[in-house]
């Protein structure tokens, strides 16, 4: 393939070629630039698609010629001893970074402590001292995130939400779960597994319950299902503002002194704490549903202390958000404003085959 031909293939074309060939963008790039690591059969297939599409000279080649780099920044929680959930989105972001880096994109990470507003503010402040072209944001702390978003709007910098959004401060796009429907689904599962009169418990484990709007929207969806179907199950709510296990254990023991429940719905990935509590009590009868494909949760899913995990492709959220930001800023390609991830129900039987 000639050098001129290489320059004529724009990234949007590369993405289409990758889709048709059922390979990654990086694989197409290696074929275009005659790099090793691609089978002969795949090379032939990709080159045939390139010839078929017959791309014309494009803005991508001109941008490379200008040697202008674009910087994307990511502001999201780091993984912790409590949960490794955030490894998923970060893995997706890093995979996308590998694919777009050859095209003049630099990605900087600003990771904050999921339990500390101060950590978010510190990382946001550091970020705002830099020059950058676009942001991917996981807005765990609503009020603090809004202050940060106002600064982005002042500087006319586009941003994309992952994992949860702030509807009144809608950005370029959102990649993540339909929070309300996630809670609605959990209630639907429970309907089939508990008696109509069985008391239920919704547990929010977070240091900033009121600030973590994504937990409350799941709770709203859960309660709405029972109200809509007139099921009559008593639904209790327990907010636990401390995220260490001993605090969760004490809160549950105190609650259960005065209440009996047949099923528990935990609104985030800390469902493993409730599972540990139930296992220590040797309680195998209480139905337990929570969120996220984490190492901690899988242990209790496999021993059937957790009955169902709801998961919504965290790795894909990070990957798609990064690619969307690239497509929009480099090629001015339109981006869907709302991109809900599929709502997957994970059980002991299908957990090993699940791809996050």
* Segments making up each domain of the chain, as ranges: 3-64, 69-176+314-341, 179-311
pLDDT in tens, 39-73: 999 999 988 888 777 644 354 555 555 567 899 99
Close Cβ partners of 204 (under 8 Å, ≥ 6 residues apart): 212, 215, 216, 219, 237, 238, 239, 240, 267, 268
Rounded Cα gap, residues 301 and 351, in angstroms: 8
8 Å CB contact between 338 and 181: no
* pLDDT score recorded for residue 6: 44
Write the CB contacts of 216 (distance below 8 Å, at least 6 apart in sequence).
204, 209, 210
Common-topology check for domains 69-176+314-341 and 179-311: yes
In this predicted structure, the answer to whether residue 330 has a pLDDT above a threshold of 90 is no
Contacts of residue 220, Cβ cutoff 8 Å, sequence gap at least 6:
180, 183
CATH class of 179-311: alpha beta
Fold of 3-64: 434 Repressor (Amino-terminal Domain) (1.10.260)
Distances (CA, A) of 278 to 260, 284, 285: 13, 7, 9
CATH topology of domain 69-176+314-341: Rossmann fold (3.40.50)
Tokens of 157: 């910098």
Give the model confidence (pLDDT) of 191-230 as tens digits.
999 998 899 999 999 887 655 567 889 999 999 999 999 9
Distance from C-alpha of 50 to C-alpha of 48, rounded to nearest angstrom: 5
The 10s digit of each residue's pLDDT in 99-109 is 998 888 999 99
């Amino acid at each position: 393939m000639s050098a001129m031909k290489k320059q004529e293939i724009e990234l949007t074309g590369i993405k289409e070629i990758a889709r048709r060939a059922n390979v990654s963008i990086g694989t197409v790039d290696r074929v275009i630039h005659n790099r090793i690591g691609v089978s002969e059969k795949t090379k032939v297939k990709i080159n045939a698609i390139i010839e078929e599409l017959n791309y014309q000279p494009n803005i991508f080649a001109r941008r490379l010629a200008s040697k202008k780099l674009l910087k994307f920044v990511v502001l999201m929680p780091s993984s912790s001893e409590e949960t490794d959930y955030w490894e998923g989105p970060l893995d997706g972001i890093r995979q996308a970074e590998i694919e777009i880096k050859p095209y003049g994109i630099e990605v900087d990470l600003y990771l904050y402590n999921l339990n500390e507003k101060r950590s978010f503010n510190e990382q946001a402040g550091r970020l705002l001292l830099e020059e950058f072209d676009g942001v991917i944001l996981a807005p765990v702390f609503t009020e603090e995130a809004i202050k940060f978003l106002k600064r982005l709007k002042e500087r006319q910098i586009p941003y994309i939400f992952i994992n949860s959004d702030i509807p009144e401060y809608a950005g370029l796009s959102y990649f993540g779960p339909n929070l309300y429907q996630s809670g609605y689904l959990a209630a639907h599962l429970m309907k089939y597994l508990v008696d109509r009169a069985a008391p239920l418990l919704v547990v929010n484990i977070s240091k900033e319950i009121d600030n973590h709007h994504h937990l409350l929207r799941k709770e709203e969806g859960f309660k709405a299902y029972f109200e809509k179907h007139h099921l009559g199950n008593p639904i209790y709510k327990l907010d636990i503002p401390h995220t260490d296990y001993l605090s969760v254990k004490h809160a549950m023991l105190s609650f259960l002194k005065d209440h009996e429940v047949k099923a528990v719905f935990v609104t985030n990935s800390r469902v493993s704490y409730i599972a540990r509590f139930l296992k220590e009590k040797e309680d195998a009868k209480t139905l337990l549903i929570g969120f996220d494909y984490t190492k901690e949760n899988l242990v209790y899913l496999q021993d059937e202390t957790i009955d169902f995990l709801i998961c919504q492709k965290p790795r894909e959220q990070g990957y798609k958000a990064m690619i969307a930001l690239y497509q929009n800023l480099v090629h001015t390609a339109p981006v869907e404003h709302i991109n809900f991830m599929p709502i997957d129900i994970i059980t002991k039987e299908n957990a090993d085959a699940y791809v996050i």
